[in-house]
Chain A
Amino acid sequence: MNRITRRFQALRRTGRKALIPYITAGDPRPELTVPMLHALVEAGADIIELGVPFSDPMADGPVIQQACERALAQGMSLRRVLDLVRDFRRTDGETPLVLMGYLNPIERMGYDAFVAGARDAGVDGVLTVDLPPEEAAELAGPLDAAGVAPIFLLAPTSSGERIRRIAQLARGYLYYVSLKGVTGSAALNVAEVADKLAAIRTHTDLPLGVGFGIKDPPTAAAIAEVADAVVVGSALVAKMGELADNPERMRREVAALLTAMRQALDRVRAPAALTD
C-alpha cells in the first residue's frame, strides 16, 4: 500500500488531521533541503510536498516564485530533486513525499524515465499543477501502475462533473484550492470551504486536503475542522526566504511555525470546552 494511504488510515484511526508542509527543493540551497525535510517531520509533518522548481510557475504567488528562482540559481533540477528524495529516504522510510511542480521538466525528462525515477527514489505522489485531467491520462496511468499516486487539484469553480472525473484519476488525496488566486494569496473563507468540501465528499471517498491561503495556526485549525489535511506552503517558504542566510535559525523558526500549526490541528479533535 502506498505510504500516503497508509498515513491517512493511521490518522483516521487516531482521529487526527494531516498536516502537509510544502517547501521548494533546493531553496535556499540544495544542501539544506534534506535536513529541512527531517526537521519538518520532527515538527509534526504527516506528509511533505516537495516543490520542483520551474522557471515559469504560473500558479504560484511571489513567495514561491522567488523560492523557485533561488533554487534554480543553485542549479536545482528535477533530476537533482530525485537525488534529494533518495537521500531523505536513507533515514526516513515512513513519511510520504509528494512532488509538486509543473509539467515541462517531466516532459523533457520523458514520462517513462520520470515515473521510474520517482518510484525508485521513493516518491509517493506527484502533483502536476498544469496538468488537468483532460490531458493527464498518459502520466497518471503509469504513475498509478508504479505505485506513485497522481494527485490532482480541485478548485472552487470545479463542477460536479469535473470533480467526478478528477476523483476517478486521483489517488492518495485530493488537493482543494481554497480560493481564487495563486499560492500565498489573501485570507480564505472557512464557511465556503466547508460547503464545497461537503459537496466534493458526495463524489469521492479520497481524503481532502486544503491549501492556498493558510498562513497561521488559527486558520489551519479552522480548516482542519472540515478537511482531512491542511497544506501550508507560502508561510513556511516566506520564512525560509527571510532567513536564507542563517540556516540554523531558518530551520528552527520554520519548525516552530509548523509545530504551532501541529498543536492547533491536534486541538481540533478535542471538544472546545476542554481547550478553553
Chain B
Amino acid sequence: MRNKVDYSQFPDDTGHFGRYGGRFVAETLMEALHELNEAWRTYRNDPEFLVELDTDLARYVGRPTPLYHAERWSRRLGGAQIYLKREDLNHTGAHKINNTVGQALLAKRMGKTRLIAETGAGQHGVASATVAARLGMECVVYMGVEDIKRQALNVYRMRLLGATVQPVNAGSRTLKDALNEALRDWVANVDDTFYMIGTVAGPHPYPLMVREFQAVIGREAREQMLTDHGCLPDALVACVGGGSNAIGLFHPFLNDSEVAIYGVEAAGSGIETGRHAATLCAGQPGVLHGNRTYLLNDADGQIVETHSVSAGLDYPGVGPEHAWLKDIGRARYVAVTDEEALRGFHDLTRTEGIIPALESSHALAYVTKLAPTMRPDQRIVVNLSGRGDKDIYTVAALEGIQL
C-alpha cells in the first residue's frame, strides 16, 4: 500500500512531479527561467499582488463563474446529477484568461514591456492579446499557418486587439511549432519580453504557475458544491489537451481521495487509426518543450502530427502533472472521438441552450457515458471550459453547410 500523497507539495523545488516536469531547455534560457521563477516565488504569496489578481478576476474576467445544474440533461442521461462549471462565461469566452491576467500582472511587476504567446485554436492568443491591450503592452502571438487557416475568426480578433499574429511555417505548422517559435523569440529578446505559455506545460515554473492561476476554477467549484450541497462531488470531468482547464479544476480536489477524476483526451478519428491527439492514452514518456511528459512520437523519438476536430486539443504533449497523476493512478485518462464530441456538442446545445466549445464537448461526451453508470443522488462536475461560438464554422462545414 502506498503512503498518502499530499498533492499540494508537488512539484518539488526543481519542478518535478515524480519523474515528470523539470527544465529541459538550452542553457540560453536557463537564466530567464530563473528570473521568472524568482519573480513568481516573490509574488505568488504577496498580498498586494493577490488582491490585484482577485480584483481583475472579479471585475474584468467576471468571476466567480456559476456552477450550473444541468437538470434536463441529467434527467435525460438518467444517472448522476451534472453540474457545469461555466468557464465559457468568462471574458473572451474560455478559461484561458484566468492565466493571462495572472501572467500579465507578473510581467508588469518584472518590468517587461513585450508579451509573446503561442496559440493553437486562438483562445490563448486572444486572451493574451486582450490583457496586452489592457496594459498597453506590445503583443506578438505565434500561430501555425495551418491553424491560421482553421481559425480565421480568432486571428481577426487578435488583430483587432492590436496584436501581431506571426505565422509559423516550420514543422507541422501547428501549435507545437508555434511554441518552438515563441521559445526562439524569447531566447533572443529575454531582456524586455515575457513569454506567456498558455497551458500547464513547458519548463518549470510554467506548469506550476499556470496551474496556480487556473486553480481558481477548482477552488470555486469546491466551495460552490460545499455551499449548495454540503458535500463534495463524486466525480470531476474535464478535457485535456495541454491540460490547463483540467488541472485547474482537478488540483483543489486532488487530496479528496473520494472524488473520482477523469481527464478526457481527443481520440480524433479513433486511436486505432493513428489520427488522434490522445497523448496520455496512447503515448510514451519523453521530452519536449522543456519538460518530461507523455508524448506522441514515433519509434525514433520524432514528434508526430496529431489530429482532432478541436484545434485546442491538437497537441502531441500534455502537462507533466497529468502524466504523473496518470502513473500514480490518481486520475483516469480516457479519450472520445471527434464524432462523440460532436454529439456532445449538439446534445448540450439542444438540451440546455448552451453552445460549448469543441474542446469542452469532449468532456461532455464522456459525461454521457459516465453519468448513466452512476446513481441519481451522485454528482459530477464537468468543466465547460469555453463557449462554442468560435467553432460554429467547423461544425457547419462538417455538416456540409456554408455560412
Question: Which residues of A approach B to under 8 Å, CB–CB?
Answer: 54-59, 61-62, 65, 69, 72, 77-79, 102-109, 129-132, 134-135, 152-155, 157-159, 162, 166, 177, 180-182, 185
Contact = CB atoms under 8 A, between A and B. Distances in A.
B302 A105 contact: yes
B180 interface: yes
A69 B303 CA distance: 12
Contact of A182 (B177, B187, B290): B187
B190 A158 contact: no
Given A107-B286, A108-B284, A55 B27 contact: no
Given A131-B24, A134-B23, A109 B301 contact: yes
B301 A56 contact: no
A59 B32 CA distance: 14
B170 A155 contact: no
A134 B287 contact: no
Contacts of B136: none
A155 B25 CA distance: 12
A69 B302 CA distance: 11
B301 A134 contact: no
Contacts of B284: 108
Contacts of B28: 59, 153, 155, 157, 177, 180-181
Contact of B32 (A54, A61, A134, A157): A157
Nearest to B31: A157
B183 A58 contact: yes
Contacts of B301: 54, 78, 104-109
Contact of A56 (B22, B27, B176, B299): B176
Contacts of B295: 104
Contacts of B304: 55
B30 A157 contact: yes
A132 B30 contact: yes
Contacts of B292: 107
A78 B300 contact: yes
Task: Point out which of B26, B32, B170 has the most chain A C-beta atoms below 10 A from its C-beta.
Answer: B26
Nearest to A158: B27
A59 B187 contact: yes
Contact of A132 (B23, B180, B299): B23
B27 A69 contact: no
A181 B300 contact: no
Interface residues of B, number: 39
Contacts of A58: 25-26, 179-180, 183-184, 289
Task: Point out which of A56, A105, A129, A159 has the most chain B C-beta atoms below 10 A from its C-beta.
Answer: A56
B403 interface: no
B187 A69 contact: no
A135 B27 CA distance: 12
Task: Point out which of A55, A106, A159, A180 has the most chain B C-beta atoms below 10 A from its C-beta.
Answer: A55
A129 B14 CA distance: 19
Contacts of A108: 284, 286, 297, 299-301
Interface in B317-372: none
A54 B286 CA distance: 13
A102 B290 CA distance: 11
A154 B171 contact: no
Given A56-B288, A155-B27, A157-B190, 10 more contacts: A56-B180, A59-B26, A69-B170, A72-B302, A107-B286, A107-B301, A154-B27, A158-B31, A181-B184, A182-B188
B303 A55 contact: yes
A178 B190 CA distance: 15
B18 interface: no
Contacts of B302: 54-55, 72, 77, 104-105
B270 interface: no
Contacts of B183: 58
B297 to A, nearest CB: 6
Contacts of B285: 107
Interface in B293-314: 295, 297, 299-304
Contacts of A152: 27
B285 to A, nearest CB: 7
Contacts of A109: 301
B191 to A, nearest CB: 8
B210 to A, nearest CB: 19
A153 B26 contact: yes
Contacts of A56: 171, 176-177, 180, 288-289, 303
Interface string B204-229: 00000000000000000000000000
